[in-house]
Every structure is written in structure tokens, then in C-alpha cells.
């Protein structure tokens, strides 16, 4: 009995004492109103609008440090900048894409973005059924899309071309390497652009820089976008064969290639996002990054839907519209080379130089 009483006493004292701790946000709001300067650091979010933007991932999930995640950033930016509400479903398996899109439609989503070519069929089927919802799909385009479906594609061969030229110009050993996550078009388009960039350098400068890992048809693939050790093993092999610039196109698995480059003190080029931001620990080995601005494209598609400007015209990210780009070049790159890259970029934009 005595013990119970003691515990009760301690609890009540604790409750009384702790009551002083913590503040309700309402209280804070009252305080803040008297000192408005306190909250000026964060930009005020846009006013809430009655519009719901939603997204379905493929089975990789939104935390894949790759295209699902970048696309998801686009939706979050839309929430901040446009004030739209959001909803999302991460898919666990390929069979559930159709159900997941339906689940979001039943939540009253006005715009639904699906991520990846695997959702192509499910997105098309849902779009035909729900004509009042605008659909956009990342990394996929239909030959004939219904009015409410927009494909979001990216000419990443253009900026990869620049990266290939840069790699060849920077290489001292005369050998560079690239590796992919899987032999699918959305990956090999980078590798093909890179290959043509290396060839362009060889033609222009009469050099003979060799490319490992892609010959235009087949090449080195991790067959896995997750496993860093696979990316590292392939990159180490290439470095062993003399490559002094590596270009992994394998999502998170490519981080292993950056590690290999760091260990061997050679250069690398990152993919999809600016590596100096997303993989900052490897920034010192990065010459540049081949940026694919899926977040921008997704946000633009949501904005178009919000403003009733949505069309089924396929969005193609190019160097010209900024949908694809090279991140800032490393300080180690010669200014001559940097100028040349800029010149090539202008030529691609003007159509003078064509990347296949």
C-alpha cells in the first residue's frame, strides 16, 4: 500500500512539473504574431488550393534514391509551390499497379503521376476509364495517347553526349568506362549518348579513347539497381583495365562505382541528380553529373493540370528546355574543355549537331 501511495505521489508531482514543459503551437503562433521576423527564414508555402495531385511508384518504392524518389520530389515541390494536396501509394508488386491507381482515383485525385514503363498498361487502362483525371507517366510515351495522358520522356543522350566528350577529354589513360543497371532503353540511352560523345572527341582531336562497357548494342550491366557491390565490382574491373573515368547508370547500385573510383583515385560522372548534392561524400571524384530533371517535369505536369492547360502532348526533356542538363563541372576540368562543352551544347540545341 505504502509503495502504491509513493508511486502515485511521484506521478502527480511529475505531471505537475512536466506541465510546464512544451508549448502548443497555438501558443507559439500568438507569440510569433508579435515578432513576425522570427519566421521569415522559411518561405511561406503557397496558399492551399482544392486540387489533389497523386503518385504511384513502381515496385522500387519512393525511397529508391533513383527515379521514383526524384519524381516524388516533383510532387512535393508542387505541394509547396502550388499549394496542392497530395496522395501517394507505393507499389509492392507489379500485379497491383491497376488496383493502386484505382485506390487513388477513389480518393478524388485530380492528377495522377505514375512512375516507370512497367505502369504503362495500368495507366492507359485507368485513363480510359477515368476521363476526368489527368494522368502523366514518367519515362514512358504512348504511340497514341488519350487526351488525359501525358508521357514524360527525357533525351538524356544529349547531356550524356556532353559527358562522354568531357570524359574522353579528361582521360589521361585513354580509356573510359560506363555501366548500366539493366539493358533497357531508359538506361542504354545514357550509355549510347556517352559513347557518341567519346567518338566525337576521337574524331575532333584525332585521339583514340577507348570506351569500356558499351559498344552500341551490348555492354556491362549490374542487372540490379540496388546492389552497390555489383556496381563496385564492375567499376573496379574497368579501372583495372585502365579506365580513369567511370559513368555508372544504375541508380543506387552505381554508388558502388563511385566508391571504386574514390578508392582508385580516378574520376567519375554521376547520373540522374547532381551527385554533389545527392551523394556529396563522392563530390571530389565527380567531374560532373548527367541530370535528368524528372522532378521539374512532374511539377510542370501537375501545374498544367491545375491550370487547365493539360495536353496529351509528350513532354521531352532536352538541353534546350532544361529537362536534361549537365551539373556544374568540377574545378579540375580545364577551362578549354569547359568552353568546348558549352560550344557543343549550343550546337546540340541549335540542331547543328545531332545525337542519335
Partner 1 sequence: MSPETPEQAPAPEEQATGTDPKPEEAQVERADPRNPVSWLPTLVETAVAIAVALVIGALLVVLSDQDALEALAYLFTYPADFFNAAWDAIWSSYSALVRGSVGSGDRLATTLERAAPLICAGLGVSLAFRAGLFNIGATGQMVFGFLAAGYVGFTWDLPPVLHMLVALVAGVVAGALYGGLVGLLKARTGAHEVITTIMFNYLAASILLYALSKDAFQRPGSDNTQSPPVADSATFGSVADVHLGVVLAFLAAGGVWWLLERSTLGFELRAVGSNPDASRTAGMNVSKVFTVGMLLAGALAGLASTMQVLGDQSSLSPTLAGNIGFDAITVALLGRATPLGTVLAGLLFGALSVGGVAMQASAGTPKELAQVLQALIVLFVAAPALVRGLTRMRSSASGSTVQAKGWGG
From the list 2, 24, 144, 356, which residue makes contact with partner 1 (rule: CB under 8 A)?
24
Nearer to partner 1, 78 or 279 (CB): 78
Per-residue contact string for residues 107-146; x = within reach of partner 1 by CB under 8 A: x---------xx-xx-------------------------
CA 183 vs CA 108, 196, 239: distances in Å: 37, 18, 21
Provide the minimum distance between the beta carbon of 319 and partner 1 in the complex, in angstroms, as a whole number: 24
Backbone angles phi, psi at 284, to 5 degrees: -70, -15
Residues 313, 207: Cα–Cα separation, whole Å:
42
> Within a 10 A sphere around the Cβ of 7, how many other Cβ atoms?
10
Which lies closer to partner 1 via its Cβ, residue 223 or residue 284?
223
Residue 21 lies near partner 1 (rule: CB under 8 A): yes
Q: Toward partner 1, which CB reaches closer, 1 or 21?
A: 21
Taking CB under 8 A as the rule, does residue 103 contact partner 1? Answer: yes
H and E: helices and strands count for the chain: 12, 12
Q: Which is nearer to partner 1, 171 or 186 (CB)?
A: 186
CB of 76 to partner 1, least distance (A): 13
- Matching residue, cell 558549352: 342
Least Å distance between CB 288 and partner 1?
Answer: 27
Cα–Cα distance for residue pair 190/192, rounded to 1 Å:
5
Are residues 52 and 110 in contact, defined by beta-carbon separation less than 8 angstroms?
yes
For 141-209, give the secondary structure using H, E and C.
Answer: CCCCCCCCEEEEEECHHHHHHHHHHHHHHHCCCCEEEEEECCCCHHHHHHHHHHHHHHHHHHHHHCCCC
Least distance (Å) between residue 222 CB and partner 1: 11
Nearer to partner 1, 13 or 280 (CB): 13
CA separation for the pair 43, 87 (Å, rounded): 23
* # residues contacting partner 1 (CB under 8 A): 40
Q: Binding partner 1 by CB under 8 A: which of 9, 12, 48, 94?
A: 94
Phi, then psi, of 94 in degrees rounded to 5 = -65, -25
In whole angstroms, give the CA distance from residue 231 to residue 123: 32
Told to check if 42 binds partner 1 by CB under 8 A, we report no
Map residues 304-333 to x or -, x wherever contact with partner 1 holds by CB under 8 A: ------------------------------
Helix (H, G, I), strand (E, B) or coil at 136: strand
Cα–Cα dist 76/197, whole Å = 35
> Does the footprint of partner 1 cover residue 354 (CB under 8 A)?
no
204 versus 223: smaller Cβ distance to partner 1: 223
Binding mask 161-200 for partner 1 (x = CB under 8 A): ---------------------xxxxx-x------------
Residues 256-285 that bind partner 1 (CB under 8 A): none
CA angle 28, 30, 35 (to 5 degrees): 90
Helix intervals (H) in 64-134: 67-82, 97-105, 120-129
Rule CB under 8 A: say whether 202 interacts with partner 1: no
Nearer to partner 1, 181 or 317 (CB): 181
- Tell whether residue 40 is a contact of partner 1 (CB under 8 A): no
Question: Residue from 1, 2, 4, 25 that binds partner 1 (CB under 8 A)?
Answer: 25
Residues near partner 1 (CB under 8 A) are 15, 18-25, 54, 58-59, 61, 87-90, 92-96, 98-100, 103-104, 106-107, 117-118, 120-121, 182-186, 188, 223
Amino acid at each position: 500500500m505504502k509503495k502504491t501511495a509513493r508511486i502515485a505521489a511521484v506521478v502527480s508531482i511529475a505531471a505537475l512539473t512536466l506541465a510546464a514543459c512544451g508549448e502548443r503551437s497555438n501558443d507559439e503562433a500568438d507569440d510569433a504574431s508579435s515578432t513576425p521576423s522570427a519566421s521569415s527564414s522559411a518561405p511561406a508555402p503557397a496558399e492551399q488550393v482544392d486540387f489533389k495531385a497523386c503518385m504511384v511508384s513502381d515496385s522500387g518504392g519512393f525511397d529508391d534514391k533513383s527515379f521514383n524518389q526524384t519524381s516524388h520530389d516533383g510532387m512535393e515541390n508542387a505541394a509547396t509551390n502550388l499549394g496542392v494536396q497530395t496522395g501517394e501509394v507505393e507499389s509492392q508488386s507489379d500485379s497491383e499497379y491497376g488496383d493502386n491507381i484505382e485506390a487513388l482515383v477513389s480518393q478524388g485525385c485530380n492528377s495522377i503521376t505514375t512512375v516507370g514503363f512497367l505502369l504503362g498498361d495500368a495507366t492507359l487502362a485507368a485513363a480510359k476509364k477515368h476521363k476526368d483525371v489527368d494522368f502523366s507517366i514518367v519515362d514512358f510515351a504512348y504511340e497514341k495517347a488519350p487526351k488525359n495522358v501525358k508521357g514524360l520522356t527525357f533525351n538524356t543522350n544529349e547531356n550524356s553526349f556532353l559527358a562522354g566528350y568531357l570524359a574522353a577529354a579528361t582521360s589521361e589513360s585513354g580509356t573510359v568506362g560506363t555501366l548500366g543497371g539493366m539493358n533497357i532503353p531508359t538506361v542504354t540511352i545514357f550509355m549510347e549518348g556517352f559513347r557518341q560523345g567519346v567518338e566525337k572527341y576521337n574524331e575532333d582531336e584525332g585521339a583514340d579513347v577507348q570506351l569500356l562497357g558499351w559498344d552500341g548494342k551490348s555492354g556491362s550491366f549490374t542487372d540490379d539497381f540496388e546492389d552497390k557491390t555489383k556496381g563496385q565490382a564492375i567499376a573496379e574491373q574497368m579501372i583495372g583495365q585502365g579506365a580513369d573515368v567511370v559513368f555508372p547508370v544504375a541508380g543506387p547500385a552505381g554508388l558502388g562505382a563511385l566508391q571504386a573510383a574514390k578508392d582508385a583515385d580516378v574520376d567519375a560522372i554521376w547520373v540522374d541528380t547532381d551527385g554533389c548534392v545527392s551523394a556529396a561524400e563522392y563530390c571530389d571524384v565527380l567531374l560532373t553529373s548527367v541530370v535528368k530533371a524528372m522532378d521539374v517535369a512532374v511539377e510542370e505536369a501537375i501545374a498544367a493540370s491545375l491550370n487547365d492547360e493539360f495536353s496529351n502532348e509528350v513532354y521531352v526533356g532536352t538541353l534546350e528546355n532544361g529537362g536534361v542538363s549537365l551539373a556544374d563541372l568540377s574545378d579540375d576540368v580545364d577551362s578549354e574543355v569547359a568552353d568546348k562543352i558549352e560550344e557543343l551544347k549550343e550546337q546540340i540545341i541549335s540542331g547543328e549537331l545531332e545525337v542519335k
